[in-house]
């Protein structure tokens, strides 16, 4: 664990728009430097992706960016980040992805030169290694395609490099369905951490060699899968909240390896990363309901430096194409954030208070994201002897905060939910401080056919 103390120690210093280590982009956006900018995300409608359809696909991406930039001008927006999260075919065949980055970058550059409008592209190749079962995290040919897209996509105009890496997911998914917190710790905080170390070393090297910015990772496939299943009432919300906390030490590894932020939007663990490391973060809340439901609509914005919509299909709505519509929504939200910033800290904290208090007592997953709880939990995380111990300490702290709030009648819960608290406490407490001991314990329990130890350096 590289970070042993918090970059933001006081709850009053943890808020939107400002991060202790802001990031300045090529066209001059200062993320975390006192303003919140929109981060627009989009995907294609149902369609094939092949050589025949590619001209249309390229055109769709160009039009999405052009239309958003045009609307940005009309709304006097000061800047925007576009996230290009590739679809599988665009990573498997990196030339597709690279070509789309070029097209998007041409539009960004055009509006920058003509109008001074600042925009950047976050390039997020998807993690293809899951195609192999069990995945070959280090030796798969898919890794080569991912790294090629990072390398060439950065040259083509992708300035912020990010990924939703999936190391450990082959163990995590089943563990999640069974609510087995020890196996989840093994997946996230043993396997995931090792994979992140390997992967982010490489991404940072690519970014550094080109003067680009290594943004950050997200445990979307872990924490958000838990959140979505809890939202469907398939698993307990308290359990999902604990899983979220356990993603923190895993995602922190990107920054330990040299990522500078902004952390990715769908990583709600980003708020803990901001407190621990001071890097700026992207967050998504009510404006991401187009992609998934959540109990975090307002509170997610409390500490955001970029404000995102996660993903919306490029389809026509009554007003305009959906990405343009969502850009407008994000822009009005960021105007509000920035108006509070312009008015001073007490107004920032007032607006933040409304965001936080309107959500935090309805769901434990929202509760743990309240800035005062983020600071308390993060303070425990940085005491960890290693990433596993950090996850355990953070999770136990979060659990005790949740329990206290339920007992005091502040946080909504139910008997079904409450039953998880003692079970989780026992299971978490049974995780030894020594990582080697834990790995040895789990060796006889985890299905060894599902993952390849050597691919994680074990």
Partner 1 sequence: MEELLKQIAHCVEFGKINQASPYPPDMKGEDGADELTVRALEQGATAEEILTDALIVGMGKVGVKFRENKVFVPQVLMSAKAMSAAMAHLKPLFASGTAKRKGTFIIGTVQGDLHDIGKNLVAMMVEGNGYEVIDLGVDVEAAKFLSEAEKYPDAVIGLSALLTTTMANMEDTVKAIKEKDPKVKVCIGGAPVTQDFCNKINADLYSPDPQGLVEYLDELAS
- Residues in contact with partner 1 by the rule CB under 8 A: 43-49, 87-89, 130-131, 133, 173-174, 176-179, 225, 229, 232-236, 313, 416
The nearest distance, CB 174 to partner 1, in angstroms, is 7
The nearest distance, CB 206 to partner 1, in angstroms, is 24
The nearest distance, CB 12 to partner 1, in angstroms, is 38
| Helix residue spans in 232-321 (DSSP H) | 237-256, 270-277
**Residue among 120 and 170 whose Cβ is closer to partner 1:** 170
Give backbone dihedrals phi and psi of 97, rounded to 5 degrees, phi first.
-60, -45
Do 291 and 316 touch, CB atoms closer than 8 A? no
Place of tokens 């369609």: 47
Instruction: Compute the 3-state secondary structure of the chain and give helix, strand, coil in percent, each to the nearest 5.
Output: 55, 10, 35
Do 310 and 291 touch, CB atoms closer than 8 A? yes
The nearest distance, CB 388 to partner 1, in angstroms, is 23
First-to-last alpha carbon distance for the chain, in angstroms, is 18
Other C-beta atoms lying within 10 Å of the C-beta of residue 165:
28
**Residue among 220 and 370 whose Cβ is closer to partner 1:** 220
The nearest distance, CB 142 to partner 1, in angstroms, is 11
**Residue among 234 and 354 whose Cβ is closer to partner 1:** 234
Q: How far is CA 87 from CA 46, 57, 127, 266, 323, in A?
A: 12, 11, 10, 16, 17
Do 73 and 101 touch, CB atoms closer than 8 A? no
The nearest distance, CB 311 to partner 1, in angstroms, is 9
H/E element holding 118?
strand 118-124
**Residue among 4 and 232 whose Cβ is closer to partner 1:** 232
Q: How far is CA 213 from CA 157, 205, 221, in A?
A: 11, 10, 23
Contacts of 52 (CB under 8 A, 6+ apart): none
**Residue among 133 and 316 whose Cβ is closer to partner 1:** 133
Other C-beta atoms lying within 10 Å of the C-beta of residue 362:
15
**Residue among 51 and 408 whose Cβ is closer to partner 1:** 51
**Residue among 177 and 342 whose Cβ is closer to partner 1:** 177
Rounded to 10 degrees, the C-alpha dihedral 60/45/296/376 comes to: -70
**Residue among 234 and 385 whose Cβ is closer to partner 1:** 234
The nearest distance, CB 235 to partner 1, in angstroms, is 5
Do 171 and 183 touch, CB atoms closer than 8 A? yes
What single DSSP character describes residue 43?
Answer: B
The nearest distance, CB 177 to partner 1, in angstroms, is 6
């Amino acid at each position: 664990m590289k970070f042993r103390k918090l970059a933001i120690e006081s709850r009053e210093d943890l808020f939107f728009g400002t991060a202790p280590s802001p990031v300045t982009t090529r066209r001059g956006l200062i993320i975390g430097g006192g303003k919140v900018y929109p981060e627009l995300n989009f995907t294609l409608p149902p369609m094939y992706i092949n050589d025949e359809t590619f001209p249309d696909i390229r055109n769709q991406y160009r039009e999405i960016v052009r239309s958003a930039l045009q609307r940005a001008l009309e709304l006097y927006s000061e800047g925007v980040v576009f996230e290009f999260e590739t679809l599988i075919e665009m990573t498997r065949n990196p030339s597709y992805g690279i070509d789309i980055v070029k097209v998007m970058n041409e539009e960004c550059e055009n509006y920058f030169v003509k109008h001074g409008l600042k925009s950047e592209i976050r390039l997020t190749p998807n993690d293809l290694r899951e195609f192999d079962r069990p995945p070959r995290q280090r030796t798969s040919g898919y890794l080569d395609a991912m790294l090629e897209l990072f390398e060439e996509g950065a040259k083509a105009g992708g300035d912020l490099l990010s990924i939703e890496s999936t190391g450990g997911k082959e163990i995590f998914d089943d563990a999640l369905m069974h609510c087995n917190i020890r196996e989840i710790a093994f997946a996230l905080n043993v396997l995931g951490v090792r994979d992140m170390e390997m992967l982010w070393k490489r991404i940072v090297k690519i970014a550094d060699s080109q003067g680009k910015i290594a943004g950050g990772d997200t445990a979307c496939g872990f924490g958000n899968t838990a959140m979505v299943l809890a939202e469907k009432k398939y698993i307990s919300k308290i359990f999902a909240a604990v899983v979220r906390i356990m993603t923190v030490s895993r995602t922190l590894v990107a920054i330990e390896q040299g990522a500078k932020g902004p952390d990715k939007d769908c990583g709600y663990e980003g708020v803990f990363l901001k407190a621990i490391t001071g890097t700026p973060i992207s967050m998504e809340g009510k404006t991401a309901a187009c992609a998934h439901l959540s109990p975090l609509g307002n509170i997610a914005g409390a500490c955001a430096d970029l404000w995102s919509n996660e993903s919306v299909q490029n389809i026509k709505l009554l007003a305009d194409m959906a990405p343009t519509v969502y850009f407008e929504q994000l822009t009005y939200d960021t105007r509000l954030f920035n108006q509070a910033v312009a008015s001073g800290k007490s107004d920032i904290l007032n607006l933040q208070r409304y965001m936080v208090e309107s959500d935090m007592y309805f769901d434990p997953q929202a509760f743990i994201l309240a800035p005062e709880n983020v600071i308390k939990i993060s303070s425990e995380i940085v005491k960890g002897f290693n990433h596993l111990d950090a996850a355990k300490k953070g999770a136990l702290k979060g659990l005790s905060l949740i329990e206290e709030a339920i007992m005091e009648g502040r946080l909504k819960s139910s008997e079904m939910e409450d039953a998880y608290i003692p079970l989780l406490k026992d299971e978490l407490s049974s995780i030894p401080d020594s990582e080697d001991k834990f790995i040895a314990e789990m060796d006889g329990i985890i299905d060894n056919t599902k993952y390849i130890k050597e691919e994680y350096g074990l």
